[in-house]
Structure 1
Amino acid sequence: MEQWVYQVEQWKNEVEEWIYRQPVEQLYVAVGIVFLTFIFFVLLRLLKRTKSNTIVFAGLSGSGKTTLFYQLRDGSSHQGTVTSMDPNEGTFILQSELEKNKKINPVHMVDVPGHSRLRLKLDEYLPQTAGLVFVVDALDFLPNLRAAAEYLYDILTNTIVVKRKVPVLILCNKTDKVTAHTKDFIRKQLEKEIDKLRISRTAISTADIANGHTLGMPGEAFVFSQCVNKVMVAEASGLTGNVSQVEQFIREYVRQ
Protein backbone atom coordinates (compact mmCIF):
# COMPACT_ATOMS: atom_id res chain seq x y z
CA MET A 1 0.00 0.00 0.00
CA GLU A 2 2.84 2.36 0.91
CA GLN A 3 4.44 1.60 -2.44
CA TRP A 4 1.27 2.63 -4.30
CA VAL A 5 1.00 5.85 -2.29
CA TYR A 6 4.61 6.63 -3.08
CA GLN A 7 4.07 5.95 -6.79
CA VAL A 8 0.99 8.21 -6.93
CA GLU A 9 2.85 10.96 -5.12
CA GLN A 10 5.69 10.66 -7.60
CA TRP A 11 3.30 10.91 -10.56
CA LYS A 12 1.69 13.94 -8.97
CA ASN A 13 5.04 15.68 -8.61
CA GLU A 14 5.95 14.92 -12.22
CA VAL A 15 2.65 16.37 -13.47
CA GLU A 16 3.11 19.51 -11.37
CA GLU A 17 6.64 19.98 -12.70
CA TRP A 18 5.39 19.54 -16.28
CA ILE A 19 2.64 22.13 -15.74
CA TYR A 20 5.11 24.66 -14.27
CA ARG A 21 7.34 24.25 -17.34
CA GLN A 22 4.51 25.12 -19.75
CA PRO A 23 3.87 28.73 -20.89
CA VAL A 24 0.85 30.30 -19.21
CA GLU A 25 -0.81 31.04 -22.54
CA GLN A 26 -0.57 27.40 -23.58
CA LEU A 27 -2.23 26.29 -20.33
CA TYR A 28 -5.09 28.73 -20.87
CA VAL A 29 -5.62 27.37 -24.38
CA ALA A 30 -5.61 23.78 -23.14
CA VAL A 31 -8.13 24.56 -20.38
CA GLY A 32 -10.32 26.42 -22.86
CA ILE A 33 -10.33 23.50 -25.29
CA VAL A 34 -11.26 21.05 -22.56
CA PHE A 35 -14.05 23.34 -21.33
CA LEU A 36 -15.51 23.90 -24.82
CA THR A 37 -15.34 20.17 -25.58
CA PHE A 38 -17.24 19.45 -22.36
CA ILE A 39 -19.94 22.03 -23.19
CA PHE A 40 -20.28 20.64 -26.73
CA PHE A 41 -20.94 17.08 -25.52
CA VAL A 42 -23.39 18.28 -22.86
CA LEU A 43 -25.40 20.23 -25.45
CA LEU A 44 -25.29 17.31 -27.85
CA ARG A 45 -26.73 14.97 -25.21
CA LEU A 46 -29.44 17.48 -24.31
CA LEU A 47 -30.48 17.89 -27.94
CA LYS A 48 -30.71 14.14 -28.43
CA ARG A 49 -32.66 13.75 -25.21
CA THR A 50 -35.22 16.46 -26.05
CA LYS A 51 -35.91 15.37 -29.63
CA SER A 52 -39.69 15.12 -29.79
CA ASN A 53 -41.74 12.22 -31.12
CA THR A 54 -45.12 13.91 -30.54
CA ILE A 55 -47.58 14.54 -33.37
CA VAL A 56 -50.72 16.53 -32.51
CA PHE A 57 -54.01 16.30 -34.40
CA ALA A 58 -56.25 19.37 -34.25
CA GLY A 59 -59.35 20.49 -36.15
CA LEU A 60 -63.07 21.08 -35.84
CA SER A 61 -65.37 18.49 -34.31
CA GLY A 62 -66.52 16.00 -36.95
CA SER A 63 -63.51 16.46 -39.20
CA GLY A 64 -62.43 12.85 -38.63
CA LYS A 65 -59.40 13.26 -36.35
CA THR A 66 -60.26 10.28 -34.16
CA THR A 67 -60.86 8.00 -37.16
CA LEU A 68 -57.44 8.93 -38.52
CA PHE A 69 -55.89 8.34 -35.10
CA TYR A 70 -57.18 4.74 -35.01
CA GLN A 71 -56.29 4.06 -38.63
CA LEU A 72 -52.71 5.05 -37.92
CA ARG A 73 -52.63 3.07 -34.68
CA ASP A 74 -54.27 -0.22 -35.60
CA GLY A 75 -55.73 0.05 -39.09
CA SER A 76 -59.37 0.32 -37.95
CA SER A 77 -61.76 3.27 -38.30
CA HIS A 78 -63.54 2.87 -34.92
CA GLN A 79 -66.70 4.41 -36.31
CA GLY A 80 -69.23 5.70 -33.86
CA THR A 81 -66.77 7.30 -31.45
CA VAL A 82 -68.05 10.34 -29.57
CA THR A 83 -66.38 13.64 -28.72
CA SER A 84 -64.28 13.28 -25.58
CA MET A 85 -63.60 15.90 -22.94
CA ASP A 86 -59.98 14.73 -22.88
CA PRO A 87 -57.43 14.27 -25.67
CA ASN A 88 -57.18 10.83 -27.26
CA GLU A 89 -53.55 9.92 -26.71
CA GLY A 90 -51.17 7.04 -27.27
CA THR A 91 -47.59 6.02 -28.11
CA PHE A 92 -47.23 3.35 -30.76
CA ILE A 93 -45.57 2.21 -33.98
CA LEU A 94 -47.64 3.09 -37.04
CA GLN A 95 -49.79 0.21 -38.26
CA SER A 96 -48.14 0.22 -41.69
CA GLU A 97 -44.71 -0.27 -40.10
CA LEU A 98 -45.46 -3.18 -37.78
CA GLU A 99 -44.12 -5.83 -40.15
CA LYS A 100 -40.84 -4.08 -40.90
CA ASN A 101 -37.84 -6.08 -39.69
CA LYS A 102 -35.95 -3.21 -38.10
CA LYS A 103 -36.03 -1.01 -35.03
CA ILE A 104 -38.62 1.76 -35.45
CA ASN A 105 -39.19 4.73 -33.16
CA PRO A 106 -42.77 4.87 -31.84
CA VAL A 107 -44.90 7.98 -32.33
CA HIS A 108 -46.61 9.76 -29.47
CA MET A 109 -49.90 10.86 -31.04
CA VAL A 110 -52.43 13.24 -29.50
CA ASP A 111 -55.97 13.83 -30.84
CA VAL A 112 -57.11 17.15 -29.31
CA PRO A 113 -60.92 17.57 -28.93
CA GLY A 114 -62.34 19.90 -31.57
CA HIS A 115 -65.01 21.60 -29.45
CA SER A 116 -64.24 25.31 -29.02
CA ARG A 117 -64.32 25.09 -25.21
CA LEU A 118 -61.77 22.28 -25.21
CA ARG A 119 -59.19 23.73 -27.62
CA LEU A 120 -57.14 25.28 -24.84
CA LYS A 121 -55.84 21.76 -24.20
CA LEU A 122 -53.84 22.17 -27.40
CA ASP A 123 -51.48 24.58 -25.61
CA GLU A 124 -50.45 21.81 -23.22
CA TYR A 125 -48.92 19.79 -26.07
CA LEU A 126 -47.42 22.47 -28.33
CA PRO A 127 -44.12 22.83 -26.40
CA GLN A 128 -43.18 19.22 -27.21
CA THR A 129 -44.81 18.92 -30.62
CA ALA A 130 -42.67 17.73 -33.55
CA GLY A 131 -45.49 18.41 -36.02
CA LEU A 132 -49.16 19.41 -36.05
CA VAL A 133 -51.83 17.93 -38.32
CA PHE A 134 -54.83 20.23 -38.84
CA VAL A 135 -57.67 18.05 -40.10
CA VAL A 136 -60.30 19.55 -42.42
CA ASP A 137 -63.55 17.92 -43.49
CA ALA A 138 -63.26 18.00 -47.29
CA LEU A 139 -66.90 16.93 -47.68
CA ASP A 140 -68.58 19.64 -45.58
CA PHE A 141 -65.82 22.17 -46.02
CA LEU A 142 -67.66 25.31 -47.16
CA PRO A 143 -70.22 25.46 -44.30
CA ASN A 144 -67.32 25.21 -41.83
CA LEU A 145 -64.85 27.38 -43.73
CA ARG A 146 -65.00 30.39 -41.40
CA ALA A 147 -64.67 28.33 -38.22
CA ALA A 148 -61.82 26.23 -39.64
CA ALA A 149 -59.96 29.35 -40.81
CA GLU A 150 -60.31 31.00 -37.39
CA TYR A 151 -58.97 27.92 -35.62
CA LEU A 152 -56.08 27.57 -38.07
CA TYR A 153 -55.33 31.30 -37.80
CA ASP A 154 -55.03 30.98 -34.01
CA ILE A 155 -52.63 28.05 -34.45
CA LEU A 156 -50.42 29.80 -37.00
CA THR A 157 -50.13 32.93 -34.80
CA ASN A 158 -49.56 30.95 -31.60
CA THR A 159 -46.34 32.08 -29.90
CA ILE A 160 -45.03 28.54 -29.41
CA VAL A 161 -45.80 27.50 -33.01
CA VAL A 162 -44.04 30.59 -34.37
CA LYS A 163 -40.97 30.47 -32.12
CA ARG A 164 -40.45 26.72 -32.51
CA LYS A 165 -41.41 26.83 -36.21
CA VAL A 166 -43.70 23.85 -35.73
CA PRO A 167 -44.47 22.29 -39.14
CA VAL A 168 -48.20 22.14 -39.93
CA LEU A 169 -49.95 19.72 -42.26
CA ILE A 170 -53.42 20.75 -43.40
CA LEU A 171 -54.98 17.34 -43.97
CA CYS A 172 -58.09 17.26 -46.17
CA ASN A 173 -59.99 14.23 -44.85
CA LYS A 174 -62.90 12.26 -46.37
CA THR A 175 -61.57 12.70 -49.91
CA ASP A 176 -62.95 9.28 -50.82
CA LYS A 177 -66.37 10.91 -51.30
CA VAL A 178 -67.29 12.02 -54.83
CA THR A 179 -68.51 15.44 -53.66
CA ALA A 180 -65.43 16.16 -51.52
CA HIS A 181 -63.46 19.28 -52.37
CA THR A 182 -59.89 19.01 -53.65
CA LYS A 183 -56.91 19.99 -51.55
CA ASP A 184 -56.07 22.86 -53.93
CA PHE A 185 -59.56 24.30 -53.58
CA ILE A 186 -59.41 23.98 -49.79
CA ARG A 187 -55.97 25.57 -49.62
CA LYS A 188 -57.03 28.59 -51.70
CA GLN A 189 -60.24 29.12 -49.74
CA LEU A 190 -58.41 28.93 -46.40
CA GLU A 191 -55.82 31.41 -47.60
CA LYS A 192 -58.54 33.85 -48.69
CA GLU A 193 -60.43 33.51 -45.39
CA ILE A 194 -57.27 33.90 -43.30
CA ASP A 195 -56.39 36.97 -45.37
CA LYS A 196 -59.71 38.53 -44.31
CA LEU A 197 -59.09 37.55 -40.69
CA ARG A 198 -55.61 39.00 -40.48
CA ILE A 199 -56.79 42.33 -41.87
CA SER A 200 -59.78 42.60 -39.54
CA ARG A 201 -57.92 41.42 -36.44
CA THR A 202 -54.95 43.69 -37.02
CA ALA A 203 -57.29 46.63 -37.55
CA ILE A 204 -58.92 46.20 -34.15
CA SER A 205 -55.61 45.36 -32.40
CA THR A 206 -56.61 41.97 -31.02
CA ALA A 207 -54.73 38.66 -31.04
CA ASP A 208 -51.92 39.63 -33.41
CA ILE A 209 -50.93 42.73 -31.47
CA ALA A 210 -51.23 40.93 -28.15
CA ASN A 211 -48.89 38.08 -28.99
CA GLY A 212 -46.60 40.01 -31.33
CA HIS A 213 -47.09 37.71 -34.34
CA THR A 214 -48.74 38.59 -37.61
CA LEU A 215 -49.40 36.57 -40.72
CA GLY A 216 -48.47 37.44 -44.27
CA MET A 217 -46.71 40.35 -45.93
CA PRO A 218 -48.04 43.93 -45.78
CA GLY A 219 -49.84 44.84 -48.99
CA GLU A 220 -49.89 41.25 -50.29
CA ALA A 221 -52.63 38.63 -50.26
CA PHE A 222 -51.91 35.92 -47.71
CA VAL A 223 -50.57 32.54 -48.78
CA PHE A 224 -49.27 29.76 -46.53
CA SER A 225 -45.76 30.02 -47.98
CA GLN A 226 -45.39 33.34 -46.12
CA CYS A 227 -45.53 31.62 -42.71
CA VAL A 228 -42.29 31.30 -40.73
CA ASN A 229 -43.05 27.61 -40.19
CA LYS A 230 -43.59 25.09 -42.97
CA VAL A 231 -47.27 24.64 -43.93
CA MET A 232 -48.24 21.78 -46.25
CA VAL A 233 -51.54 20.46 -47.63
CA ALA A 234 -52.37 16.78 -48.17
CA GLU A 235 -55.33 14.42 -48.65
CA ALA A 236 -56.55 11.42 -46.68
CA SER A 237 -59.53 9.19 -46.01
CA GLY A 238 -59.78 7.83 -42.50
CA LEU A 239 -62.63 5.47 -43.35
CA THR A 240 -60.89 3.76 -46.28
CA GLY A 241 -57.44 3.74 -44.70
CA ASN A 242 -55.86 6.12 -47.20
CA VAL A 243 -53.40 7.69 -44.77
CA SER A 244 -50.10 7.42 -46.63
CA GLN A 245 -49.61 11.19 -46.96
CA VAL A 246 -50.06 11.84 -43.26
CA GLU A 247 -47.72 8.91 -42.50
CA GLN A 248 -45.13 10.52 -44.72
CA PHE A 249 -45.49 13.79 -42.79
CA ILE A 250 -45.17 12.00 -39.45
CA ARG A 251 -42.02 10.15 -40.47
CA GLU A 252 -40.47 13.33 -41.84
CA TYR A 253 -40.49 14.81 -38.34
CA VAL A 254 -40.38 11.66 -36.19
CA ARG A 255 -37.51 9.65 -37.60
CA GLN A 256 -37.63 5.87 -37.78
Structure 2
Amino acid sequence: MDEVKMEKLKIQLQQLMNKSHEFLHKIPPTQLYAAIGAVLFTIFFFSIVRLFKRGSSNTVVLTGLAGSGKTVLFYQLRDGSSHQGTVTSMEPNEGTFVLNSETTKKGKIKPVHIVDVPGHSRLRPKLDEFLPQAAGIVFVVDAVEFLPNVRAASEYLYDILTKASVVKKKIPLLLLCNKVDKVTAHTKDFIRKQLEKEIDKLRTSRTALSSADVTNEYSLGVPGEAFGFHQCYNKVTVAESSGLTGDISQLEQFIRDYIKA
Protein backbone atom coordinates (compact mmCIF):
# COMPACT_ATOMS: atom_id res chain seq x y z
CA MET A 1 0.00 0.00 0.00
CA ASP A 2 2.83 2.39 0.84
CA GLU A 3 4.51 1.68 -2.50
CA VAL A 4 1.27 2.47 -4.36
CA LYS A 5 0.95 5.81 -2.51
CA MET A 6 4.56 6.68 -3.25
CA GLU A 7 4.05 5.91 -6.94
CA LYS A 8 0.94 8.11 -7.07
CA LEU A 9 2.84 10.93 -5.34
CA LYS A 10 5.66 10.68 -7.88
CA ILE A 11 3.17 10.88 -10.75
CA GLN A 12 1.48 13.94 -9.21
CA LEU A 13 4.80 15.68 -8.68
CA GLN A 14 5.84 14.96 -12.26
CA GLN A 15 2.54 16.35 -13.55
CA LEU A 16 2.97 19.46 -11.43
CA MET A 17 6.51 19.99 -12.76
CA ASN A 18 5.29 19.56 -16.34
CA LYS A 19 2.53 22.12 -15.82
CA SER A 20 4.99 24.56 -14.22
CA HIS A 21 7.37 24.10 -17.14
CA GLU A 22 4.57 24.77 -19.65
CA PHE A 23 3.43 27.82 -17.68
CA LEU A 24 6.91 29.35 -17.63
CA HIS A 25 7.29 28.84 -21.37
CA LYS A 26 4.04 30.76 -21.98
CA ILE A 27 5.32 33.83 -20.08
CA PRO A 28 7.09 36.37 -22.32
CA PRO A 29 10.84 36.54 -21.50
CA THR A 30 10.65 40.19 -20.46
CA GLN A 31 7.94 39.47 -17.90
CA LEU A 32 9.81 36.43 -16.63
CA TYR A 33 13.02 38.41 -16.17
CA ALA A 34 11.07 41.18 -14.45
CA ALA A 35 9.51 38.68 -12.04
CA ILE A 36 12.89 37.12 -11.23
CA GLY A 37 14.35 40.59 -10.71
CA ALA A 38 11.52 41.51 -8.35
CA VAL A 39 12.10 38.37 -6.28
CA LEU A 40 15.85 39.02 -6.07
CA PHE A 41 15.29 42.67 -5.13
CA THR A 42 12.86 41.65 -2.38
CA ILE A 43 15.37 39.16 -0.96
CA PHE A 44 18.12 41.80 -1.08
CA PHE A 45 15.89 44.44 0.53
CA PHE A 46 14.90 42.27 3.47
CA SER A 47 18.51 41.16 3.96
CA ILE A 48 19.57 44.80 4.24
CA VAL A 49 16.73 45.54 6.69
CA ARG A 50 17.75 42.60 8.89
CA LEU A 51 21.39 43.69 8.80
CA PHE A 52 20.42 47.26 9.74
CA LYS A 53 18.32 46.06 12.64
CA ARG A 54 21.20 43.98 13.96
CA GLY A 55 23.54 46.96 13.73
CA SER A 56 21.19 49.44 15.42
CA SER A 57 21.65 48.20 18.97
CA ASN A 58 21.12 50.76 21.74
CA THR A 59 23.09 48.80 24.39
CA VAL A 60 26.23 50.14 26.08
CA VAL A 61 28.08 47.89 28.52
CA LEU A 62 29.96 49.34 31.51
CA THR A 63 32.70 47.03 32.74
CA GLY A 64 36.04 47.12 34.55
CA LEU A 65 37.53 46.03 37.86
CA ALA A 66 35.49 46.12 41.06
CA GLY A 67 35.65 49.51 42.75
CA SER A 68 36.37 51.50 39.60
CA GLY A 69 33.09 53.42 39.90
CA LYS A 70 30.95 51.79 37.22
CA THR A 71 27.76 51.74 39.26
CA VAL A 72 28.10 55.39 40.26
CA LEU A 73 28.46 56.24 36.55
CA PHE A 74 25.33 54.18 35.84
CA TYR A 75 23.29 56.25 38.29
CA GLN A 76 24.76 59.50 36.98
CA LEU A 77 23.70 58.57 33.46
CA ARG A 78 20.24 57.53 34.61
CA ASP A 79 19.22 60.22 37.10
CA GLY A 80 22.18 62.51 37.72
CA SER A 81 22.81 61.07 41.18
CA SER A 82 25.99 59.53 42.59
CA HIS A 83 23.80 57.22 44.72
CA GLN A 84 25.55 58.48 47.82
CA GLY A 85 28.99 57.87 46.53
CA THR A 86 29.86 54.25 47.15
CA VAL A 87 27.96 51.42 45.54
CA THR A 88 29.01 47.80 45.16
CA SER A 89 26.96 45.73 42.74
CA MET A 90 26.87 41.94 42.75
CA GLU A 91 24.26 41.71 40.02
CA PRO A 92 24.22 43.61 36.72
CA ASN A 93 22.39 46.93 36.86
CA GLU A 94 20.27 47.35 33.77
CA GLY A 95 18.09 50.15 32.53
CA THR A 96 16.72 51.67 29.35
CA PHE A 97 16.34 55.41 29.61
CA VAL A 98 17.04 58.80 28.10
CA LEU A 99 20.31 60.14 29.51
CA ASN A 100 19.66 62.41 32.46
CA SER A 101 21.44 65.34 30.80
CA GLU A 102 19.03 65.05 27.84
CA THR A 103 15.75 65.02 29.76
CA THR A 104 15.25 68.76 29.25
CA LYS A 105 15.74 68.57 25.50
CA LYS A 106 12.74 68.89 23.24
CA GLY A 107 11.73 66.33 20.66
CA LYS A 108 12.02 62.58 20.56
CA ILE A 109 15.30 61.25 21.95
CA LYS A 110 16.36 57.63 21.57
CA PRO A 111 16.66 55.85 24.94
CA VAL A 112 19.87 53.99 25.76
CA HIS A 113 20.10 50.54 27.29
CA ILE A 114 22.91 50.70 29.86
CA VAL A 115 24.27 47.54 31.51
CA ASP A 116 26.63 47.80 34.49
CA VAL A 117 28.43 44.45 34.76
CA PRO A 118 29.94 43.64 38.19
CA GLY A 119 33.73 43.76 38.25
CA HIS A 120 34.33 40.88 40.64
CA SER A 121 36.33 38.17 38.88
CA ARG A 122 33.78 35.44 39.67
CA LEU A 123 30.97 37.48 38.11
CA ARG A 124 32.73 38.52 34.90
CA PRO A 125 31.31 35.66 32.82
CA LYS A 126 28.07 37.64 32.89
CA LEU A 127 29.76 40.05 30.49
CA ASP A 128 29.53 37.47 27.71
CA GLU A 129 25.73 37.59 27.95
CA PHE A 130 25.66 41.26 26.92
CA LEU A 131 28.57 41.69 24.51
CA PRO A 132 26.81 40.25 21.42
CA GLN A 133 24.17 43.00 21.65
CA ALA A 134 26.51 45.86 22.55
CA ALA A 135 26.87 48.98 20.41
CA GLY A 136 29.73 50.11 22.63
CA ILE A 137 31.85 49.01 25.60
CA VAL A 138 33.04 51.31 28.39
CA PHE A 139 36.00 49.91 30.32
CA VAL A 140 36.23 51.93 33.55
CA VAL A 141 39.57 52.37 35.32
CA ASP A 142 40.11 53.81 38.79
CA ALA A 143 42.57 56.64 38.07
CA VAL A 144 43.53 56.89 41.76
CA GLU A 145 44.19 53.21 42.55
CA PHE A 146 45.47 52.48 39.06
CA LEU A 147 49.05 51.29 39.66
CA PRO A 148 48.25 48.58 42.25
CA ASN A 149 45.66 47.20 39.84
CA VAL A 150 47.36 47.76 36.49
CA ARG A 151 48.15 44.08 35.94
CA ALA A 152 44.62 42.90 36.72
CA ALA A 153 43.08 45.67 34.61
CA SER A 154 45.37 44.82 31.69
CA GLU A 155 44.45 41.13 31.81
CA TYR A 156 40.74 41.89 31.89
CA LEU A 157 41.04 44.42 29.07
CA TYR A 158 43.16 42.00 27.02
CA ASP A 159 40.48 39.34 27.38
CA ILE A 160 37.79 41.73 26.15
CA LEU A 161 39.78 43.01 23.18
CA THR A 162 40.49 39.46 21.98
CA LYS A 163 36.95 38.09 22.32
CA ALA A 164 35.49 36.92 19.03
CA SER A 165 32.17 38.63 19.82
CA VAL A 166 33.99 41.97 20.12
CA VAL A 167 36.48 41.58 17.27
CA LYS A 168 34.05 40.30 14.63
CA LYS A 169 31.58 43.13 15.23
CA LYS A 170 34.37 45.67 15.81
CA ILE A 171 32.57 47.00 18.87
CA PRO A 172 34.08 50.38 19.84
CA LEU A 173 35.59 50.59 23.31
CA LEU A 174 36.00 53.62 25.56
CA LEU A 175 38.81 53.40 28.10
CA LEU A 176 37.35 55.67 30.78
CA CYS A 177 39.69 56.95 33.49
CA ASN A 178 37.35 57.62 36.40
CA LYS A 179 37.77 59.62 39.66
CA VAL A 180 39.98 62.25 37.98
CA ASP A 181 38.65 64.86 40.42
CA LYS A 182 41.02 63.44 43.04
CA VAL A 183 44.42 65.14 43.43
CA THR A 184 46.24 61.81 43.36
CA ALA A 185 44.56 60.62 40.16
CA HIS A 186 46.80 59.63 37.26
CA THR A 187 46.33 61.27 33.87
CA LYS A 188 44.64 59.45 31.02
CA ASP A 189 47.85 59.53 28.97
CA PHE A 190 49.81 57.86 31.78
CA ILE A 191 47.10 55.21 32.21
CA ARG A 192 46.95 54.52 28.48
CA LYS A 193 50.73 54.09 28.18
CA GLN A 194 50.95 51.81 31.21
CA LEU A 195 48.12 49.61 29.96
CA GLU A 196 49.75 49.38 26.54
CA LYS A 197 53.00 48.25 28.16
CA GLU A 198 51.27 45.61 30.26
CA ILE A 199 49.25 44.30 27.34
CA ASP A 200 52.46 44.11 25.31
CA LYS A 201 53.88 41.82 28.01
CA LEU A 202 50.71 39.73 27.98
CA ARG A 203 51.02 39.21 24.23
CA THR A 204 54.36 37.53 24.79
CA SER A 205 53.19 35.37 27.67
CA ARG A 206 50.08 34.20 25.80
CA THR A 207 51.65 33.22 22.49
CA ALA A 208 51.48 29.51 23.40
CA LEU A 209 47.73 29.01 23.16
CA SER A 210 45.95 25.69 23.20
CA SER A 211 43.94 24.73 20.13
CA ALA A 212 40.75 25.28 22.15
CA ASP A 213 41.75 28.86 22.95
CA VAL A 214 42.63 29.73 19.37
CA THR A 215 39.03 29.34 18.22
CA ASN A 216 37.82 31.91 20.76
CA GLU A 217 40.67 34.36 21.00
CA TYR A 218 42.32 36.74 18.56
CA SER A 219 45.85 38.05 18.86
CA LEU A 220 46.56 41.72 19.45
CA GLY A 221 48.99 44.10 17.84
CA VAL A 222 51.57 43.81 15.09
CA PRO A 223 54.35 41.19 15.41
CA GLY A 224 57.69 42.83 16.08
CA GLU A 225 56.17 46.15 17.19
CA ALA A 226 55.31 47.49 20.64
CA PHE A 227 51.59 47.27 21.29
CA GLY A 228 49.37 50.32 20.96
CA PHE A 229 45.59 50.59 21.18
CA HIS A 230 45.53 51.96 17.63
CA GLN A 231 46.47 48.43 16.47
CA CYS A 232 43.26 46.88 17.82
CA TYR A 233 40.63 45.47 15.49
CA ASN A 234 38.02 47.74 17.04
CA LYS A 235 38.34 51.46 17.77
CA VAL A 236 39.66 52.28 21.25
CA THR A 237 39.44 55.82 22.64
CA VAL A 238 40.55 57.19 26.01
CA ALA A 239 38.60 59.69 28.11
CA GLU A 240 38.17 60.96 31.67
CA SER A 241 35.27 61.20 34.09
CA SER A 242 34.32 61.84 37.68
CA GLY A 243 31.32 59.89 38.85
CA LEU A 244 31.05 61.67 42.18
CA THR A 245 31.04 65.19 40.74
CA GLY A 246 28.91 64.27 37.76
CA ASP A 247 31.55 65.18 35.18
CA ILE A 248 30.60 62.51 32.63
CA SER A 249 30.34 64.56 29.43
CA GLN A 250 32.99 62.51 27.59
CA LEU A 251 31.17 59.30 28.52
CA GLU A 252 27.89 60.72 27.25
CA GLN A 253 29.56 61.84 24.03
CA PHE A 254 30.87 58.33 23.42
CA ILE A 255 27.39 56.90 23.96
CA ARG A 256 25.79 59.32 21.51
CA ASP A 257 28.55 58.78 18.95
CA TYR A 258 27.30 55.21 18.56
CA ILE A 259 23.66 55.52 19.61
CA LYS A 260 22.24 58.50 17.78
CA ALA A 261 19.63 60.49 19.67
Given residue 192 of structure 1, which amino acid in structure 2 is its aligned partner? K
Residue 35 of structure 1 and its aligned partner are, at CA, apart by 1.2
Given residue 132 of structure 2, which amino acid in structure 1 is its aligned partner? P
In structure 1, the residue matched to 2:146 is: 141
Change (3 A) 1:182 1:21: closer
Give the TM-score taking structure 2 as reference length: 0.86
Residue 189 of structure 1 and its aligned partner are, at CA, apart by 0.3
Gaps of 5+ in 1: 1-18
CA contact (8 A) 1:208 1:214 kept: no
Residue 46 of structure 1 and its aligned partner are, at CA, apart by 1.9
In structure 1, the residue matched to 2:155 is: 150
Moved more, 44-53 or 178-187: 44-53
Given residue 34 of structure 1, which amino acid in structure 2 is its aligned partner? A
Change (3 A) 1:207 1:231: farther
In structure 2, the residue matched to 1:184 is: 189
In structure 1, the residue matched to 2:17 is: none
Aligned residue for 1:143, secondary structure, equals: helix
Deviation digits for residues 51-78 of structure 1 (CA, Å, limit 9, x no counterpart): 2000000000000000100011100001
Tell me the matched-pair count. Answer: 237
Residue 179 of structure 1 and its aligned partner are, at CA, apart by 1.3
Aligned residue for 2:168, secondary structure, equals: helix
In structure 2, the residue matched to 1:37 is: 41
CA contact (8 A) 1:201 1:207 kept: no
In structure 1, the residue matched to 2:5 is: none
Moved more, 210-219 or 170-179: 210-219
In structure 2, the residue matched to 1:11 is: none
Deviation digits for residues 6-55 of structure 1 (CA, Å, limit 9, x no counterpart): xxxxxxxxxxxxx9573x2x234212320122123312332343320000
In structure 1, the residue matched to 2:7 is: none
Change (3 A) 1:72 1:156: same
> Structure 1: how far apart are the matches of 2:87 and 2:254?
26
In structure 2, the residue matched to 1:125 is: 130
Aligned residue for 1:118, secondary structure, equals: helix
Give the TM-score taking structure 1 as reference length: 0.87
CA contact (8 A) 1:224 1:231 kept: yes
Deviation digits for residues 98-128 of structure 1 (CA, Å, limit 9, x no counterpart): 0111100000000000000000000000110
Residue 211 of structure 1 and its aligned partner are, at CA, apart by 2.3
Deviation digits for residues 126-172 of structure 1 (CA, Å, limit 9, x no counterpart): 11000000000001100000000000000000110011111000000
In structure 2, the residue matched to 1:4 is: none
Residue 210 of structure 1 and its aligned partner are, at CA, apart by 4.8
CA contact (8 A) 2:72 2:85 kept: no
> Structure 2: how far apart are the matches of 1:132 and 1:204?
26
Q: Mapping of 1:1-256 within 5 angstroms?
A: 20=26, 22=28, 24=29, 26-50=30-54, 51-79=56-84, 81-203=86-208, 205=210, 209-256=214-261
Identical-pair percentage = 68
How large is the Cα RMSD of the aligned pairs?
1.9
